Amino acid sequence: MKNFLLGLSAALAHVYPCHANSRYRSRPDLSPPSLNITIPATSDVGSGFLFVAPYSIDRAYKLDGSSRPEQPAAYIFRDDGDLVWSSVGYISGFVGNFHVATLSGKPVILANEGTIDTLHGHGYGHVAFLDQRYQRVKTVTGGNHKVLDLHEFTVQNGKTAVVEIYDQLQVDLRPYGGKDGQTWIVDAVVQELDLETGKVLFEWHSLDHVDPTDSVLTLNQRGSLGDGRTAIDAWDYFHINSVDKNNTEGNYLISGRHVSAIYKLDGKTGKIIWQIGGKHSNFSFGDELEFAFQHDARFQGRDGDIQYISLFDNGAGSNGHQGGDKDKIRDYSTGKLLKLNTSDWTASIVKEVEHPDRLLAPSQGNTQILPNGNLFVHWGQAGTITEYRANDSVPIFNAYLDTFAPGRGVQNYRGFRQEWKGTPTEPPALVALTTEDGSVELYVSWNGDTETHTWKFYVREDGKEREVGQSARKGFETKFEVPVRHSGKSAEFFARAFDSNGKSLSKTERATIRQKIGSSSLGRLRPDAQQQAINEL
């Protein structure tokens, strides 16, 4: 124990400034990441907030000492990195695919909630829907006794959702190089669900349409694929990671990472209409368009024989979500917008962007086309988000999801920029602290609030209430210094939130005065100092 205390003392001598996970006086239980904004948002970024759900892989953290979020969760941020909402206490387990949708005509936020298998790169769970007051209004599970995977959940017209499932089956794997005891394979399943009834409206199985020989990663190639000896380690020959639907045509677009191909499916029969990429591509294209191990294939419009799609081209495979870059075709990943001609069966690039630091993201990621035409790209395993101007693809915003240099410790499955209005059910939080000189500081915050413009502060003393001042909202947490004459020991303080029109939105509970101790930023140990302390255990 003595050696441990000595080591810990040495470590504490090297506390970094709070490079991530800053603390709030009014909400010390919340510890969000601090965005490292390397390109501040310009005036022509799209409207809306940033939606991310960063998490860490402990194994990777131990290997390279990279930074990681202290509280993996879903977060809404403003462009300057100011926190809007933390899902801590609202959504549990692994949180992924966090975004805004419409349910029965009303805006909601939703997220996959469950567990993640970081070795194989998929997970199990359900989808939680929260309304604008952050109250859970629906939980959706898979149909036909199947558990949803974490990769996809997209609401269609506010009434149905397309989802995907990793279903393990026992088959004879000898035709694919299997040996005795290797009998398990993953069947990639697509479903469209009625959100009101839970009824399965459409179901598609990869094994009915795509032969396992189409996989670009063969059985026994590496552990993250699964060796086929158990259900949990089933051979993931296809690895479905996105499903989209064109509601005009009624057809689907799916992405198979381990076949490096994107398929358009007939919405009635499930038959493959066309395929781009992989071993049997219907389209011809040059080397500049080649993609591999892609994510997030989306319909982006059609004009006669011309079909537009977007995708995130990882350009490399990986060992699940645990790092490494296997089987790469280039040293960097890209966001792509493609033009597909179904008359002459050629494909060309309309737009392609790479990260300002030319990063490689071996897993995860997405490409979002914003209403103003800008591209918003999340770089998956690299843990960073970038926005590009529509007309010239110049990066006009970039942020890493933790303050230190990028590392495998900070990842995020998908990231989005979307409009959102939040008016929480929970009341604002207030703390009143007295300083050494006897003055009183009030700290107020309201997790999830997007509408507060002004805070007004009040004191209750000797049975009477009076206003002591007001302040414009200054971020997630607003500080207000109370004049000394209002800081008697029996005083109780509270605050009211007002919108830009002067309407009262909510108020805090009354808070008595407590002594202010230390800094609100607790800091974090240097990785080398952390290891030093751990080594002394």
Q: 73-76 long-range CB contacts below 8 Å, 24 or more apart?
A: 73/32, 74/98, 74/109, 74/111, 75/32, 75/33, 75/51, 76/49, 76/50, 76/51, 76/420, 76/422, 76/448
What does the pLDDT average to over 262-270? 99
**pLDDT by residue (tens digit) across 437-461?**
888 999 999 999 999 999 999 999 9
378 and 473 belong to one structural domain: no
**pLDDT tens-digit map of 54-89:** 998 755 444 454 556 789 999 999 999 999 999 999
Q: Look over the chain and give the mean of its residue pLDDT values, rounded to a whole number.
A: 89
**Total count of domains within the chain:** 2
Please indicate whether residue 328 or residue 220 has the higher confidence score (pLDDT). Answer: 328
Q: Cα 444 from chain centroid?
A: 27
Question: Does residue 233 share a domain with residue 96?
Answer: yes
Is residue 275, in this structure, part of any structural domain at all?
yes
Same-domain status, 232 and 112:
yes
Any idea what the CATH number is for the domain that residue 437 is in?
Answer: 2.60.40.10
In this predicted structure, what is the pLDDT of residue 319? 63
Task: Characterize 488-513 residue by residue with b for buried, 16 or more Cβ atoms within 10 angstroms of its Cβ, and e for exposed.
Answer: eeebebbbbbbeeeeeebbebebbeb
Same domain, 84 and 224: yes
Q: Which one of 3-17, 322-336, 383-397 scores highest in mean pLDDT?
A: 383-397
pTM, full prediction? 0.90
Residue 1 covered by a domain: no
Does a structural domain hold residue 355?
Answer: yes
- State the pLDDT at residue 326: 58
Same domain, 358 and 444: no
Residue 274: what pLDDT? Answer: 99
Which residues span the domain enclosing 27? 19-418
Asked if residue 462 and residue 392 are part of one domain, the reply reads: no
Q: Check whether residue 37 and residue 180 sit in a common domain.
A: yes
Which tens digit of pLDDT belongs to each residue from 270-313? Answer: 999 999 999 999 999 999 999 999 999 999 999 999 999 999 99
Q: Which CATH number goes with the domain that contains 208?
A: 2.120.10.80
Q: Let me know if residue 533 belongs to a domain.
A: no
Same domain, 112 and 258: yes
Output the pLDDT for position 416.
99
pLDDT of residue 321: 52
Residue 530 scores a pLDDT above 50: no
pLDDT given at position 413: 96
Pick from 386, 418, 450: which residue ends a domain? 418
Residue 62 lies in a domain: yes
Does residue 185 have a pLDDT over 80? yes
Residue spans of beta strands (DSSP E) within 182-279 = 184-194, 200-205, 240-246, 251-256, 261-265, 272-277
Task: Clarify whether residues 443 and 397 are in a common domain.
Answer: no
Summarize the confidence of residues 226-251 as an average pLDDT.
95
Are 337 and 482 members of one domain? Answer: no
